[in-house]
Chain A
Amino acid sequence: MKKIALGAVLGAATLAVSACGQGVLGSDKTDDSGPIALGMVVPLSGSSADIGPYMKNGAQMAIDEINAKGGVDGRKLQLRVEDGACDPKTEVAAANKLIAAKIAVSVGGYCSGSALPTLPLFDRNKIPMIIPAANSTELVEQKLKHVFLINGTGDQQAAAAVSWMGKDGAKKVAVLHDNTSYSKDIATRTATGLDQPGGPDKAALDAVTPGESDYSANIASVLKTKPDFVYWTGYYQEGGLILRQLRQAGYTGKFMVGDGSVDAKLIKIAGDKAAEGAYATMTQTPDTIEGAGGWVANYKKKFGAEPGPYSTQSYDAVRVAAEGITKAGGTDGDKVAKALEAIDGFPIFSGPLKFTPQHTLSNGGFVILVVKNGAFTLRDALK
């Protein structure tokens, strides 16, 4: 019997050794003269699987552009993408995989809730993390030295929303969110802004359950408060349905969505007629920046698809990472983080980049879009 047990141990050990060969091979690739690896954890499966390719392509585009110009310090850049599925456990495994692959900088992060547990991992391994999409304030509340956000924060988006509501002459505003970290953050901050004296008043702050197809109960309770402006901070799928069902219920006031809903699918789901005139708070995109048409054309040529949400931010994250590594003169995490802190006026889509002491954008760059003839167009730059 003991022989059998011993045999089992040996057999398993051999198996493990063969697995180890893979691990060693994987880490062999990186040394100081080879390509610099940038890592990216994005959702490629699960409910947000749509977003992953947009972010991946945006990042790849920046990497190809930089490599075409000779790379960083004579070393080529290389992108490693792992699926995080917006699930904390998967995302942590993916982050660990990237750490094991010795990436220099992480340029991923979409779902705030599942990105949170990966922050201490990257930070402990001194890997700077430039988060292109996730923008919950909790991400920077831990004050980790290596974590940077280059998407506008919920705070900035809420401020932009409230300022536009005032400008647009709204009287009573209902705010709806879907109870995800990102959406709730913007909604509660908007509600706080509305509660301030002066400007529009808050009519309601309500949450809906994402993934349903009938929101008439939520809509009826919101309409009871008689709002003349409704702000939805969640994603486009529910946003489209809510807009459509609001109109069906006879609501004639204004409707605005947050940046998670700015997608052509919103208009498709709501229907052209219902969506016409809907506002959105959004960071600047190539569509709304004059002279950026070439970027979109390049993207289309390269990937055969339209850029989507966060393509530009991912593109920027890679460029910011490259800038940090260049300025630091190497891939040492601490030096790169210092270099990132020192960046002043580096041009990215949302405007000249400068990080606040909390490592967020000093200028969120939110603008107001409006749906005109079935497409989002710039309405007000809020300057």
Chain B
Amino acid sequence: MTAVPDRAKRPGPTIVTRLMENRHLGWAALAVGLVAPFVIATPYAMNIMTSAVIFVMLAVGLNIVVGYCGLLDLGFAAFFAVGAYTSGLLATRLSWPLLATVPAVIIATALAGVIIGGPTLRLRSDYLAIVTLGFGEIVRIIANNLEVTGGPSGIYGIPGLFGAEAADPVVFYYAALVIVAVAVLLAARLGRSRLGRAWRFVREDEDAAEAMGVHTYRIKMAAYIAGAIWGGLAGVLFAAQLSAISPASFTFLQSALVLMAVVLGGMGSTPGVVIGAVVISLLPEILRDLADYRFFVFGVLLIVMMIVRPQGLWPHRSRETARTAARSGES
């Protein structure tokens, strides 16, 4: 990672690399997602596909924090939980339609992002990771102990996305797919925006960024809030899909799995993170036939993948292409 590639000596991009940098690939992936139910639409297939899609949303949210901005967050499930619980509570106790809870969820998760980000973003690396780890546990334990959140059994009877009756799984899958596709696109655009460039700058060198006039604290806070909102909206989808949520879904393992998806796919790379999330959520299901050994095999596969490809399945490549390179060459 630290070695600067020597442009002159590097061979031209291989076919695989060119394919991986193809801008239409996102559309192709979406098309695959759209076509899939025509091929297989058993309740089980729809269920794991929907779970995978929701997991993609989570991973893309965490990618904003970890991948773009370089802030290690070990408690991302907290935002997922805040989103799921906010929408679940409003929908069941106040009988709001689920879609109407979305603005409330955005406010609640942004608030949660500020609460955790406010005091902690002055910390760096390891210390930040420890605090976020604690925050994740705090949120879960609060949900476990409060009466209003239903304690350990959680909330049940959450309506579907479009009304009281739980929708057809195929309809729900399409709704989730479209929402998540938009979210992924937005996150990718955000990563290339002025804010996104500032995030990457902070990730590479915080002091240099500060010296160049980037308000690092505010920038980091923005990353946190954006990540929190993505996570919260994934929580809404999760609540709608399962119709019941309980603290058992928001353990440290969940946070770790999302982080794993981001790292496995390639930090900061949107297609990588999407692939990573799909792999992480589908692999345990594909290995289901191995019964007791499935998590063992899952772990071994992950370790092998990280040894063979430590930069991630689909690492981020700087968009500093010919034009920028030429410009820096002129000066």
Question: Using a CB–CB distance below 8 Å, which chain A residues touch chain B?
Answer: 1-2, 4-5, 8-9, 12-13, 16-17, 19-20, 23, 26-27, 44-45, 49, 82-83, 86-90, 92-93, 96-97, 99-100, 111-114, 116-117, 120-121, 124-125, 136, 138, 142, 179-181, 184-185, 207
Contact = CB atoms under 8 A, between A and B. Distances in A.
26 contacts: A1-B22, A4-B24, A8-B32, A9-B28, A9-B32, A12-B32, A16-B35, A16-B39, A17-B39, A20-B40, A45-B292, A45-B294, A88-B245, A92-B242, A93-B285, A99-B43, A100-B42, A113-B247, A114-B248, A120-B243, A120-B244, A121-B43, A138-B150, A138-B156, A142-B156, A179-B152
B295 A93 contact: no
A28 to B, nearest CB: 12
B242 A88 contact: yes
Contacts of A179: 144-145, 151-152
A96 B166 contact: no
The 5 closest A-B pairs by CB, nearest first: A181-B153, A117-B244, A96-B47, A100-B44, A100-B42
Contact of A96 (B43, B150, B152, B157): B43
Interface of B: 19, 22, 24-25, 27-28, 31-32, 35-36, 39-40, 42-48, 51, 144-145, 150-154, 156-157, 166, 241-249, 284-285, 288, 291-292, 294-295
B292 A8 contact: no
Contacts of A83: 288, 291, 294
Given A16-B39, A99-B43, A100-B44, A181 B32 contact: no
Given A44-B292, A179-B145, A100 B24 contact: no
Contacts of B46: 96
B156 A86 contact: no
Nearest to A52: B292
The residue among A13, A20, A113, A207 with the most chain B CB atoms within 10 A of its own CB is A113
A2 B19 CA distance: 11
Given A16-B32, A44-B292, A97-B288, A88 B157 contact: no
Contacts of B39: 13, 16-17, 19-20
A117 to B, nearest CB: 4
A99 B27 contact: no
A179 B145 CA distance: 7
A33 B35 CA distance: 34
A180 B44 contact: no
A120 B166 contact: yes
Contact of B47 (A12, A92, A112, A120): A92
Contacts of B153: 112-113, 116, 136, 138, 181, 185
Contacts of A113: 152-154, 246-248
Contacts of A16: 32, 35-36, 39-40
Contact of A23 (B40, B47, B156): B40
A124 B167 CA distance: 11
A86 B248 contact: yes
A83 B31 CA distance: 32
Given A92-B47, A117-B243, A87 B32 contact: no
A102 B18 CA distance: 45
B260 to A, nearest CB: 16
Nearest to B153: A181
B291 A116 contact: no
Contacts of B245: 88, 117
B166 A180 contact: no
B159 to A, nearest CB: 11
B32 A4 contact: no
B152 A181 contact: yes
A5 B18 CA distance: 12
A8 B249 contact: no
Contacts of A17: 39
A154 B244 CA distance: 21
A296 B314 CA distance: 56
B173 to A, nearest CB: 12
A113 B157 CA distance: 13
A12 B121 CA distance: 42
